[in-house]
Amino acid sequence: GRAMQHTQSLLSSEDSTPAEAKQDPDPVLVREWLGQAVLVLLFSVSAHASKNALAPAQPALESIGVSPLLYSMIAAVPMVGSVVLPTAWGVAYADFEREVLVAVPLGELVGNFLIAAGLWLVDLPAVPAVWAEMLLFIGLVTFSAFHGGAHVVQCAVLSRVLPRFEATGFVATIGFTNFITAVCNFVVPRILESYGIMGVQLALLIPGLISVAAGCWLAALASGFSVPHARTHPKLHKVLRQQCKEAFLEDVRDARAHAIDTPRQKAGCLTGLGVIGLLSIWKALIMGALHSFRTIKNGLVVSLGVSKVQAGSLIGTNQMISLVVLPVIGVLSDIFGRRFLIVFMSWSVATSAVALSMASSLPQDSWVGALFVFSLSSVVVPVVALSLVRDNSNRSLGRAFGLLETLFSLAQVIFTVALGALREAGGFAYAMDFISCVLVLGAMASLCVAYAIKDISDGA
């Protein structure tokens, strides 16, 4: 619309020229981007370590009397904040970038510390149980609230520090996340055997301190990020405040009036919020199912005749192999586009889910292969989804990432609790039937997403 054109003209009068933007980046700048990208990875290490430490402990927890439904509810608690708060954190990031970069990891660290204190009080017979329960509750709520902002803020700040190679940047983000998952699968069962739940919780304070340090460092560097922060640009802020409503309405009219003028719209694609909404639904179905399955994956493998430590090692190895493959997939997606990956990975993991639902009657190599497809999909799908946001969103990146994270987290919470209820009713067989149905729906949705998105291959 005219408002956005005016906004762009304000920026172009003060920023670098198009010719300069197209020049190869200075090696010094590239090193600066890489250094900031590493800090972005470390920013969320606490969120991912805390979230993924529970799954390897599932067989041990259920062996001491924790029911499948109670376990699923415990696993869902850290994700509750990610249902209602990502968009709010995205808006807060737009206006208070430095403060949010510090507050999110610090809040997670405080939450983990309170949980550790609650677990310590549980072992003290002289202390009333209500005090321990109160600390555990406050700690879980605190961690959940700040965990709700970790991923959306990480994605938004990554888009600020990397003016180029965004898909490869998201590959690194998702790869690092799954590296943490693999480490948890290798380490947590061993810590649990030697030091119990308290040992695991104390170990989680280490990544918490790392994330706080990274957040403070990023906050100090925020004014020098390569991609301008729209809401901190004084002229842009004024234009958006005064003309937001007019710009939105005019953009809608222009999109309708010129629907036949662009290759993207000739293909029947949606624009802006419609694409982000469709992308969010697809990611919610696929990744919601994959992440909820992650909470029972170790238990499923143990039920197939593997020890707890061996199950953790097998799942961790799959994650590591997926990480080796991931950089190649990231580079190929930057060159050739994402449509093929969206459809191929969605249908591959749906087929693997059906195979896992029959794992007890299959040779071991078959269900191990299906588990690997799950691991590979869990690293590829989020990369594809996240790397498409900037090109398909015509609004605030923080809000777009917030919508993506909110729907995904809502699906993850619902699916996780549903798996617990289904396992109590019919064991892993009912749970895997449910996962298979959800992933087939996600595979069908992938066809709509591939049709609607604006991709690299469109030349736009």
DSSP letter, residue 337: -
pLDDT over threshold 70, residue 243: no
Q: Given this model, what pLDDT does residue 377 score?
A: 87
From residue 330, alpha-carbon distances to 144, 166, 175, 380, 449 in Å are: 30, 10, 10, 8, 19
Residue 353: pLDDT band (50, 70, 90) is very high
pLDDT tens-digit series, residues 149-187: 887 788 778 777 777 666 666 667 777 877 888 888 888
Q: Where are the alpha helices (DSSP H) in 162-233?
A: 166-203, 205-221
Q: Given this model, what pLDDT does residue 230 score?
A: 56
Query: For residues 378 and 53, what is the distance between their CA atoms, to the nearest angstrom?
Result: 17
Mean pLDDT, rounded, for 88-95: 80
Q: Given this model, what pLDDT does residue 460 score?
A: 42
Q: C-alpha angle 410/416/420, rounded to 5°?
A: 145
DSSP string for residues in 225-264: -SS--GGGSHHHHHHHHHHHHHHHHHHHHHHHHTTTSSHH
pLDDT tens-digit series, residues 249-285: 444 444 444 444 444 443 434 555 677 788 889 989 9
- Written as six digits, the tokens of 23 are 């020049």
DSSP letter, residue 23: S
Mean pLDDT, rounded, for 351-358: 91
Query: For residues 295 and 56, what is the distance between their CA atoms, to the nearest angstrom?
Result: 8
pLDDT over threshold 90, residue 147: no
- Written as six digits, the tokens of 104 are 């999110």
pLDDT tens-digit series, residues 420-460: 889 888 888 899 999 999 999 999 999 988 888 776 555 54
Answer with the residue of higher pLDDT: 343 or 177: 343
For the chain, what percent of residues have pLDDT higher than 90?
Answer: 14
DSSP letter, residue 65: T
Q: Given this model, what pLDDT does residue 258 score?
A: 40
Q: Given this model, what pLDDT does residue 164 score?
A: 67
pLDDT tens-digit series, residues 371-422: 999 988 887 888 777 777 766 666 566 667 767 777 888 888 899 889 988 9
| Top-confidence range, 147-151, 227-231, 314-318, 386-390 | 314-318
Mean pLDDT, rounded, for 47-74: 73
pLDDT over threshold 70, residue 216: yes
Query: For residues 107 and 33, what is the distance between their CA atoms, to the nearest angstrom?
Result: 27
Answer with the residue of higher pLDDT: 88 or 214: 214
Answer with the residue of higher pLDDT: 21 or 80: 80
Q: Name the average pLDDT for the chain.
A: 76
- Written as six digits, the tokens of 296 are 């029972």
Mean pLDDT, rounded, for 318-345: 77
Mean pLDDT, rounded, for 187-191: 85
Q: Given this model, what pLDDT does residue 110 score?
A: 94
Cα-Cα-Cα-Cα torsion 112, 116, 122, 126, nearest 10 degrees, comes to -120
